[in-house]
């Protein structure tokens, strides 16, 4: 009997008698945030600083009571966790998330004077904290119920749909919605630009990364030099690299007419794309190289022994086995690129970063949110999606 | 044989110090004597009225940059390492899966978005960038602390326990020393990433080495951008090579000769 | 002395050790034998409270183990595991001196003790004291492991498959040395192994376990002569059992005085085993051997008929 078998593994304490301290403390944090922090703020127009309201004023007695009950419910269920309780907990978390916009609707009825069409409602700290902690609860429940990432992602998409519906139909007074309505065309274009830029940069770096990694495996001398260059690139701040590419590209556009006609210019998409690719190459090449190298030599030896040719060994053995790690590289690269593209807005590449920097410039925080929130969600969705894909592609399914 | 070893070791150590010394000297030179390179920058921007960024001294910017990164690093190391330790103890083990997931999830949050979300809460200035750096830098540290502590061979931990070491003694004399190289690697990643990321602070009014870059982009003055980028890159290289000096002896003691 | 009475251990629903009782008198060597997962390691680890038992009593030197402070208890009990568990960041001397230092011995005492033990285990101090575990071979590392367990001179030594990961030749050498050390130090040893030959060679008392229960316990000879069931018999090697039994019996216990006939050509030292004697008979095509003492002076003789007759007698006595 090995020592490992004999150890009572603390990570797998599944017996129902043991309270789930994680969920209990998360529930307490949410209760404290709900009663201690501001739920919403209300301003008569865009310029004036809003006044903050607590739970009672913002939701009224019935609303505050319902929220308190639901939040305590999480803690109570978690006290004696069982499979059934975890399912109930999942339902409670989802209900709370879905009820959030309803709470905002209630606040807008309670607080906003219909005489003031300019009045706007801002999300208070409570909403952010509770939303964040609810996501933590979701992660914890997912781990306990041993669900794959797919289900929570689908449920969250459902919740997002509810939010969207509420926002478009009943939440005209929400500051975020007002900011969006004022520039919805611009917003959709920005998302389009953002996704296109990320997509282009990632797909180019996937191809280049694969070729580079394969070259490195063939020419060992290339390996050290290439990694040194790629590592050095990462130490240059993204801000600077974007800036540094402005001048040479402007010069090229001015002096090589063909390139100018192809859309190369000093400002805008081109330098952003080049910088994005430069940053994306290191994680891409590193993961591709490791993925290809990591394949067990025994397996390859066996493949050789069975009489597979070099090409067959690569396409039928090495690549399929390397695929999950390779996808992991694509995931890291994409998530990083989504964030970096936001910075690219500074050199006129467009995208969601435009709202962030414009908002910062005008001290209009709701506009900043309009840029930052979609970026965050985009990153989370890509992370979950590619993570799920890598999990599904792992030989033998999920672990 | 033992003789040749003992002579070879210090020489190798001294060689290791060469890199941080070189990068550090270059960094100091660039900070103190940036104006001496005026002809070079004049060549980059022949038409600009001014080619050396002079709204603040470079050493002041460097100091502020270091301060921001340093405070963020201090907080992240203390919080991140203790969180990693707590959740790997038996009492905190309930939180291990959640913290592990968070550690991998956290880097999904782009620093720009975090910075943007921090501004409404904390206002403009140095504070939001410190918070953004803390969030972004926390994760490599937590992740590596967890990995380092969990990688310690179960047999070694069992032996420590069975020899009558208390949990505190096991942590202090066995687990932490064995996990140190991995933890240090996490701190290194965190700090070097943050040195570059801190430049973003310039967009929310925190004055640091990102200032010349922003100013250069806004005014179309490449020379400014180069000056900011050069100083930040040299700072990153200096710090990174210092970590290498710290890590080397730890690594060589544990790996096969 | 170690005494377990009606001890059980449950992990959740699963019963790892089920109502076992056994007694190891002071200075005796007890081996727990069984296949993987039979609960032998769990039993061992309950003795130094690495695992707390669920039911029954475990008594060390007349006191229930719950009475002892677990940390202090472990410092008083030596423990050796299969993969040594040496601290990779400490050199050999520091690894061996661990428990004395935990017990706050003076630096000089610790150093003296470390050197004494390295001597005992055949590790030259000059060569090994400053080496790190990754610079040692498997056998050397396990010698350090044993030295570390013996460092604070504990009365009790627990060994969990200590030689399981070593190659056969190193393993045999370490077994011989352990036997020699035990003959000198007379520790109370509990030794877990799945290798029956190792257990037969080293133990005074053998405990065979299966699925958490004790199937049979007794002296090696008693088990060989009278296995309780087919499981014990298969562990003992089925048809090879006769030879294993012969390996446990000394020539001098079965020799007869010199007969009137001419002494046989082949000579065998008196402290060799009957198994070696049988092998020599087969090799030399002879049914008689001359037994000699350490100075090669004949002191008696041994015949094939005699060996077979003795085996019958032994079996008869075991049955009673």
Looking at residue C257, which CATH number applies to its domain?
3.90.1280.20
C-alpha–C-alpha distance, residues B211 and B54, integer Å: 11
Q: How many angstroms separate the Cα of A198 from the Cα of each of A191, A334, B117, C61?
A: 11, 7, 22, 72
**Higher pLDDT among residues B15 and B209, named by residue:** B209
* Chain-centre distance for alpha carbon B238: 11
Tell whether A106 and A76 lie within a shared domain.
Answer: yes
Going by pLDDT thresholds of 50, 70 and 90, the confidence category of residue C319 is very low
Tell whether C231 and C263 lie within a shared domain.
Answer: no
Tell whether A146 and A288 lie within a shared domain.
Answer: no
Check whether A253 has a pLDDT greater than 80. Answer: no
* Chain-centre distance for alpha carbon B224: 24
CATH of the domain at C139: 3.40.50.300
Tell whether A290 and A323 lie within a shared domain.
Answer: yes
Tell whether C175 and C111 lie within a shared domain.
Answer: yes
Q: pLDDT value at position B110? A: 82
Does residue A5 lie within any of the structural domains? no
Let me know how long chain C is: 320
Tell whether C97 and C177 lie within a shared domain.
Answer: yes
How many contacts (CB atoms, under 8 Å) link A and C? 22
Check whether B256 has a pLDDT greater than 70. Answer: no
Check whether C212 has a pLDDT greater than 50. Answer: yes
Tell whether C216 and C122 lie within a shared domain.
Answer: yes
Going by pLDDT thresholds of 50, 70 and 90, the confidence category of residue A227 is confident
Tell whether A232 and A143 lie within a shared domain.
Answer: no
Does residue A258 lie within any of the structural domains? no
- DSSP SS3 for A215: helix
* DSSP element (H, E) containing C160: strand C156-160
Interchain contact A115–C (C-beta under 8 A): no
ipTM for the predicted complex comes to 0.78
Of C55, C42, C177, which is closest to residue C117 (Cα–Cα)?
A: C177
Question: Are A337 and A276 contacting, i.e. CB atoms less than 8 angstroms apart?
Answer: yes
Q: In the predicted model, what is the mean pLDDT of chain A?
A: 80
Q: What percent of chain C shows pLDDT beyond 70?
A: 97
Going by pLDDT thresholds of 50, 70 and 90, the confidence category of residue A264 is low
Q: Tell me how close the Cα of C278 comes to any Cα of chain B, in angstroms.
A: 43
Tell whether C87 and C126 lie within a shared domain.
Answer: yes
Question: Are C298 and C290 contacting, i.e. CB atoms less than 8 angstroms apart?
Answer: yes
Q: pLDDT value at position A245? A: 75
H helices present in B33-57, as ranges: 38-44
The reply to whether residue C88 touches residue B174, judged by beta carbons under 8 angstroms, is no
Of B195, B60, B207, which is closest to residue B127 (Cα–Cα)?
A: B207
Check whether A81 has a pLDDT greater than 70. Answer: yes
Q: pLDDT value at position C33? A: 92
pLDDT per residue as tens digits for the range C51-87: 899 999 999 888 888 888 888 889 889 999 888 889 9
Which residues are within 8 A (CB) of C258 and not within 5 positions of it... i.e. 6 or more apart? Answer: C298, C299, C300, C301
Q: pLDDT value at position B9? A: 57
Tell whether A345 and A196 lie within a shared domain.
Answer: yes
Tell whether C195 and C287 lie within a shared domain.
Answer: no
Check whether C108 has a pLDDT greater than 90. Answer: yes
Which chain C residue has the Cα nearest residue A17? C12
Per-residue pLDDT averaged across B51-69, rounded? 86
Question: Are A351 and A358 contacting, i.e. CB atoms less than 8 angstroms apart?
Answer: no
Going by pLDDT thresholds of 50, 70 and 90, the confidence category of residue A47 is low
| CB contacts, 8 Å: B213 with chain A | 237, 239-240, 243
How are beta strands C205-210 and C29-33 bridged, if at all?
A: parallel
Tell whether A220 and A146 lie within a shared domain.
Answer: no
- DSSP SS3 for A171: coil
The domain in which residue C291 lies consists of 249-319
Per-residue pLDDT averaged across A185-214, rounded? 90
Does residue A367 lie within any of the structural domains? yes
Which range has the top average pLDDT, A107-116, B25-34, B70-79, C36-45? B70-79
HSE at residue C20, side-chain half, CA atoms within 13 A, is 33
**A124, two tokens:** 């208070």
Tell whether A188 and A173 lie within a shared domain.
Answer: no
Check whether B69 has a pLDDT greater than 90. Answer: yes
Q: pLDDT value at position B156? A: 92
Q: Tell which of C244, C275, C292 closes a domain.
A: C244
**Higher pLDDT among residues A171 and C27, named by residue:** C27
Q: pLDDT value at position C316? A: 52
Task: Select from B154, B162, B169 the residue whose CB has the most chain C CBs within 10 Å, as the one to mutate to test that interface.
Answer: B162
Of A18, A16, A35, A39, which is closest to residue A27 (Cα–Cα)?
A: A35
| CB contacts, 8 Å: B151 with chain C | none
Q: How many angstroms separate the Cα of A346 from the Cα of each of A75, A354, A357, B131?
A: 45, 7, 7, 22
Tell whether C267 and C207 lie within a shared domain.
Answer: no
The reply to whether residue C41 touches residue A8, judged by beta carbons under 8 angstroms, is no
- In total, how many domains does chain C have? 2
The reply to whether residue C89 touches residue B177, judged by beta carbons under 8 angstroms, is yes
C-alpha–C-alpha distance, residues A59 and A102, integer Å: 10
Tell whether A176 and A284 lie within a shared domain.
Answer: no
pLDDT per residue as tens digits for the range A338-354: 988 988 888 878 888 88
Q: Tell which of C206, C223, C244 closes a domain.
A: C244
**Higher pLDDT among residues B191 and A2, named by residue:** B191
pLDDT per residue as tens digits for the range C221-261: 888 888 888 888 888 877 777 787 888 888 888 888 877 77
Tell whether C121 and C264 lie within a shared domain.
Answer: no
Check whether B5 has a pLDDT greater than 50. Answer: no
Q: pLDDT value at position A262? A: 61
Pick C41's closest partner by Cβ from A3, A8, A15: A3
Tell whether C167 and C101 lie within a shared domain.
Answer: yes
Residue ranges covered by each domain of chain B: 59-254
Q: Tell me how close the Cα of B168 comes to any Cα of chain C, in angstroms.
A: 12
Of C179, C139, C182, which is closest to residue C163 (Cα–Cα)?
A: C139
Interchain contact B153–C (C-beta under 8 A): yes
Q: pLDDT value at position A398? A: 43
Q: Which value, in Å, is the radius of gyration of the alpha carbons in chain C? A: 22
How are beta strands C205-210 and C213-218 bridged, if at all?
A: antiparallel
Q: In the predicted model, what is the mean pLDDT of chain B?
A: 83
Tell whether A41 and A169 lie within a shared domain.
Answer: yes
Check whether A399 has a pLDDT greater than 60. Answer: no
Question: Are C134 and B256 contacting, i.e. CB atoms less than 8 angstroms apart?
Answer: yes
pLDDT per residue as tens digits for the range A169-194: 777 777 778 777 778 888 889 899 99
pLDDT per residue as tens digits for the range B102-155: 877 777 778 888 888 888 777 788 888 898 888 888 888 998 999 899 889 888
Tell whether C240 and C210 lie within a shared domain.
Answer: yes
Question: Are C157 and C189 contacting, i.e. CB atoms less than 8 angstroms apart?
Answer: yes
Per-residue pLDDT averaged across B208-216, rounded? 87
CATH number, span B59-254: 1.10.3720.10
Check whether C116 has a pLDDT greater than 80. Answer: yes
Does residue A256 lie within any of the structural domains? no
The domain in which residue A168 lies consists of 15-181
The reply to whether residue C102 touches residue B254, judged by beta carbons under 8 angstroms, is no
Going by pLDDT thresholds of 50, 70 and 90, the confidence category of residue A143 is confident
Going by pLDDT thresholds of 50, 70 and 90, the confidence category of residue A84 is confident
Tell whether C185 and C297 lie within a shared domain.
Answer: no
Question: Are C235 and C196 contacting, i.e. CB atoms less than 8 angstroms apart?
Answer: yes
Question: Are B99 and B87 contacting, i.e. CB atoms less than 8 angstroms apart?
Answer: yes
Does residue A398 lie within any of the structural domains? no
Pick C40's closest partner by Cβ from A1, A8, A15: A1
Going by pLDDT thresholds of 50, 70 and 90, the confidence category of residue A5 is very low
Tell whether A235 and A173 lie within a shared domain.
Answer: no
Q: pLDDT value at position A263? A: 60
Going by pLDDT thresholds of 50, 70 and 90, the confidence category of residue C98 is very high
**C103, two tokens:** 């017990």
| CB contacts, 8 Å: B217 with chain A | 239, 242-243, 246, 346-347
C-alpha–C-alpha distance, residues C92 and C113, integer Å: 13
Tell whether C283 and C155 lie within a shared domain.
Answer: no
Interchain contact C46–A (C-beta under 8 A): no
* DSSP element (H, E) containing B14: helix B2-32
Going by pLDDT thresholds of 50, 70 and 90, the confidence category of residue A395 is low
pLDDT per residue as tens digits for the range B221-247: 878 888 888 888 889 889 988 998 888
CATH of the domain at A232: 1.10.3720.10
- In total, how many domains does chain A have? 2
Q: In the predicted model, what is the mean pLDDT of chain C?
A: 87
Which chain C residue has the Cα nearest residue A3? C41
Q: Tell me how close the Cα of C239 comes to any Cα of chain B, in angstroms.
A: 37
* Residues linked to residue C63 through DSSP beta bridges, in sequence order: C60
Question: Are B146 and B167 contacting, i.e. CB atoms less than 8 angstroms apart?
Answer: no
Does residue A172 lie within any of the structural domains? yes
Per-residue pLDDT averaged across A254-279, rounded? 72
C-alpha–C-alpha distance, residues A258 and A251, integer Å: 13
């Amino acid at each position: 009997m090995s020592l490992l078998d004999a150890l009572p593994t603390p990570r797998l304490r599944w017996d129902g008698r043991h309270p789930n301290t994680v969920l209990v403390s998360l529930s307490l944090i949410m209760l404290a945030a709900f009663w201690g922090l501001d739920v919403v703020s209300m301003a008569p127009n865009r310029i004036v600083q809003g006044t903050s309201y607590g739970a009672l004023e913002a939701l009224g007695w019935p609303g505050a009571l319902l929220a308190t009950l639901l939040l305590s419910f999480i803690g109570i269920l978690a006290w004696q966790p069982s499979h059934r309780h975890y399912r109930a907990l999942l339902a409670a978390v989802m209900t709370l998330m879905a009820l959030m916009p309803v709470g905002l609707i209630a606040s807008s009825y309670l607080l906003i004077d219909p005489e003031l069409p300019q009045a706007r409602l801002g999300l208070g700290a409570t909403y952010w904290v509770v939303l964040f902690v609810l996501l933590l609860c979701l992660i914890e429940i997912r781990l306990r119920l041993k669900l794959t990432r797919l289900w929570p992602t689908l449920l969250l998409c459902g919740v997002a749909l509810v939010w969207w519906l509420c926002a478009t139909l009943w939440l005209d007074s929400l500051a975020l919605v007002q900011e969006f309505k004022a520039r919805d065309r611009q917003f959709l274009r920005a998302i389009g630009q953002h996704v296109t830029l990320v997509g282009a940069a990632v797909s180019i770096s996937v191809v280049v990364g694969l070729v580079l990694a394969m070259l490195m495996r063939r020419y060992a001398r290339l390996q050290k030099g290439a990694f040194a260059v790629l590592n050095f690139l990462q130490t240059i701040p993204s801000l600077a690299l974007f800036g540094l590419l402005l001048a040479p590209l402007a010069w090229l556009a001015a002096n090589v007419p063909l390139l100018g006609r192809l859309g190369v210019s000093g400002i805008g998409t081109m330098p952003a794309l080049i910088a994005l690719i430069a940053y994306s190459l290191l994680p891409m090449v590193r993961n591709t190289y490791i993925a290809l190298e990591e394949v067990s030599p025994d397996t390859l030896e066996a493949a050789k022994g069975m009489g597979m040719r070099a090409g067959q060994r690569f396409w039928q053995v090495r690549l399929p086995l390397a695929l999950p790690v390779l996808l992991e590289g694509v995931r890291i690269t994409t998530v990083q690129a989504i964030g970096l593209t936001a910075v690219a807005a500074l050199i006129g590449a467009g995208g969601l970063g435009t709202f962030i920097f414009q908002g910062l410039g005008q001290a209009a925080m709701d506009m900043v949110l309009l840029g930052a929130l979609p970026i965050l969600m985009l990153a989370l969705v890509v992370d979950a999606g590619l993570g799920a894909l890598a999990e599904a592609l792992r030989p033998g399914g999920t672990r | 044989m033992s003789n040749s070893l003992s002579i070879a070791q210090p020489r190798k150590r001294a060689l290791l110090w060469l890199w941080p010394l070189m990068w550090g000297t270059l960094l100091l030179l660039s900070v103190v004597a940036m104006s001496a390179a005026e002809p070079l920058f004049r060549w980059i921007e022949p038409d600009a009225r001014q080619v050396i960024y002079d709204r603040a001294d470079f050493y002041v910017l460097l100091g502020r940059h270091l301060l921001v990164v340093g405070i963020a690093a201090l907080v992240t190391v203390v919080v991140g390492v203790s969180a990693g330790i707590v959740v790997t103890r038996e009492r905190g083990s309930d939180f291990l899966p959640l913290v592990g997931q968070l550690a991998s999830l956290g880097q999904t949050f782009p620093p720009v978005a975090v910075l943007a979300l921090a501004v409404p809460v904390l206002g403009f200035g140095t504070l939001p960038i410190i918070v953004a750096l803390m969030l972004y830098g926390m994760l490599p540290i937590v992740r590596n602390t967890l990995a380092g502590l969990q990688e310690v061979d179960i047999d070694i931990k069992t032996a420590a326990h069975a020899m009558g070491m208390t949990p505190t003694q096991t942590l202090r004399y066995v687990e932490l020393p064995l996990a140190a190289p991995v933890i240090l690697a996490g701190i290194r990643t965190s700090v070097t990433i943050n040195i570059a990321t801190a430049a973003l602070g310039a967009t929310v009014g925190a004055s640091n080495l990102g200032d010349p870059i922003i100013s250069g982009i806004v005014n179309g003055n490449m020379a400014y951008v180069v000056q900011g980028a050069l100083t930040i890159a040299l700072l990153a290289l200096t710090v990174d090579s210092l970590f290498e000096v710290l890590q080397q002896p730890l690594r060589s003691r544990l790996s096969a000769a | 002395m170690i005494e377990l009475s009606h001890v059980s251990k449950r992990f959740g629903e699963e019963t790892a050790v089920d109502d076992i009782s056994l007694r190891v008198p002071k200075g005796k060597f007890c081996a727990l034998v069984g296949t993987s997962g039979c609960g032998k390691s769990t039993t061992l680890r309950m003795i130094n409270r690495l695992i707390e038992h669920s039911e029954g009593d475990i008594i060390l030197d007349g006191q229930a183990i719950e009475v002892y402070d677990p940390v202090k208890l472990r410092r008083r009990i030596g423990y050796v595991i299969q993969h040594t568990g040496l601290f990779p960041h400490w050199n050999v001397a520091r690894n061996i001196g661990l428990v004395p230092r935990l017990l706050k011995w003076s630096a000089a005492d610790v150093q003296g003790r470390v050197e004494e033990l390295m001597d005992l285990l055949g590790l030259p101090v000059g060569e090994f004291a400053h080496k790190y575990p990754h610079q040692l071979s498997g056998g050397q590392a396990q010698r350090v492991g044993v030295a570390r367990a013996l460092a604070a001179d504990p009365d009790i030594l627990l060994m969990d498959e200590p030689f399981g990961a070593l190659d056969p030749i190193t393993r045999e050498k370490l077994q011989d040395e352990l036997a020699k050390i035990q003959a000198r130090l007379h520790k109370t040893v509990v030794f877990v192994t799945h290798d029956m030959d190792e257990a037969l060679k080293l133990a005074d008392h053998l405990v065979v376990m299966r699925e958490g229960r004790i199937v049979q316990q007794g002296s090696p000879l008693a088990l060989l002569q009278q296995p309780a069931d087919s499981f014990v018999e298969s562990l003992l090697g089925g048809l090879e059992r006769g030879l294993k039994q012969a390996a446990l019996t000394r020539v001098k216990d079965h020799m007869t005085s010199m007969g009137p006939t001419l002494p046989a050509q082949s000579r065998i030292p008196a402290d060799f085993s009957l198994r070696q004697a049988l092998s020599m008979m087969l090799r030399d095509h002879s049914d008689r051997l001359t037994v000699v003492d350490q100075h090669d002076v004949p002191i008696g003789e041994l015949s094939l008929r005699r060996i077979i007759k003795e085996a019958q007698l032994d079996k008869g006595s075991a049955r009673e």
